[in-house]
Structure 1
Amino acid sequence: MPVATDRRAVIADAAITTLARAGGRGLTHRAVDKEAGLPIGSTSYYLRTRADLLRAAVDRLAELDEAALTPATDGTLAADLARVIDHLLTTDRERLLARYELALESVRRPELRVFLAAGTHRVRGVIEQRLAEQGVAAPREVAEATLALVDGLLFAELTAIEGQQRGRPDLEAALARLVGTR
């Protein structure tokens, strides 16, 4: 995860790390203070409720996802998505684990589902725009299918037995077939 300097981003990043390491039950203001290296009470000063803390984590995840989908030099969406998937499965697994913790918690907390839907909408918008720029027919529908495929690939790869994960070229090929760039 990129290093944040803004206090709210630092807190949101610490919430993401806490979710990944301790699960939803471990997400407390005090745990986030500790993870962020902040004085006790700092998180609750900026984010009063647990719902505020969850929303900050969701918003930060969407922000990081949007930034990750910025076109690379080769310009293909499939390559960029494969890069993001590979990064989430290797270097930034905590971000992925936190996302799944939030998704599971949203089953019992409808207000969290609303936040997650808003974050998904932001990311889908970036993908839709990239598809439209590449001249893909029905970019909204393809963006929705692409997100579903990416979610499925991420879950399958995250839970795969070690050593059986797809490599980045295989991921890129599957994504290229979907988005029509190959």
Structure 2
Amino acid sequence: MEWCQVRTNPQRRQTLIDAAIEVLAKEGARGLTFRAVDKEASVPAGTASNYFASRDDLLTQAGSRFYERLQPSEATMAQLTDGPKTRANIVELLKETVARIEAFRTGYLAVLELRLEATRRPELRAVLSERVRADIDYNVRNHLASGLPGDEKSVLLLYLALNWLIVDRLTLPDIFTEEQSQELIEAAVERIIGGRD
């Protein structure tokens, strides 16, 4: 009876998934074991195995959790929908997005590990492809609905450019300084969106 109650505890499940993200970032996909997750979450040995059917299940849930934790704030969404319809506003929104991702460094590193692991696990690849595609579609849809300058291709090009900037900032932080990062975001918007405010 107690086992069933523990297993359905959503807060405990979330704690375990967050611990899995930390393990992925520190140890890589090969280091992701139920035992490592239990230790990272500071729970009794065997807890993670009560919550997840398999290691693949845990990998998949960690991938989804990253995107949940990176949802923009209400203030950011208001800036998108109600803010000025200018390139300058796009720059500010992108700077906020990059800062939000950089603040969750372990999450992004975990997702990079998951993407590598997805090349060997078709189920994980399918889940991640669906989640990333949904995220891209959401960003394109919101941008177009907001009335900000730029079209679908602009959003996709900015997505591609900024993702690699983030990879460099999080994995090789000496490549680009914070100031250079900010300048590159501004230049990307200016060159991809074009026109004047």
Distance 1:148 1:163 in 2: 18
Secondary structure of the residue aligned to 2:53 is coil
**1:173 aligned to 2:186?**
yes
**1:55 aligned to 2:60?**
yes
Shift of 1:150: 2.1
Q: Which amino acid aligns with 1:32?
A: V
Contact persistence 2:168–2:176 (CA under 8 A): no
User: CA offsets per residue over residues 58-116 of structure 1, 9 Å max, x none?
Assistant: 11012123x13755264344423322323433x32111211111111112222211121
Structure 2: which 5+ residue stretches go unaligned?
1-9, 81-88
Distance 2:176 2:159 in 1: 22
**1:32 aligned to 2:37?**
yes
Shift of 1:45: 1.3
Contact persistence 2:169–2:175 (CA under 8 A): no
Which one has the largest radius of gyration? 2
Contact persistence 2:168–2:175 (CA under 8 A): no
1:112-151 equivalence runs, <5 A = 112-135=124-147, 136=149, 138-139=151-152, 141-151=153-163
Shift of 1:163: 6.8
1:1-182 equivalence runs, <5 A = 6-65=11-70, 67-68=71-72, 72=76, 74-75=79-80, 76-89=89-102, 91-135=103-147, 136=149, 138-139=151-152, 141-160=153-172, 162=174, 164-167=176-179, 169-177=182-190, 178-179=192-193
Shift of 1:44: 1.4
Structure 1: which 5+ residue stretches go unaligned?
none
Q: CA RMSD in A?
A: 2.6
TM-score by length of 2: 0.75
1:59–1:33 Cα change, 3 Å = same
**Whose helix proportion is higher, 1 or 2?**
2
Moved over 6 A (4+): none
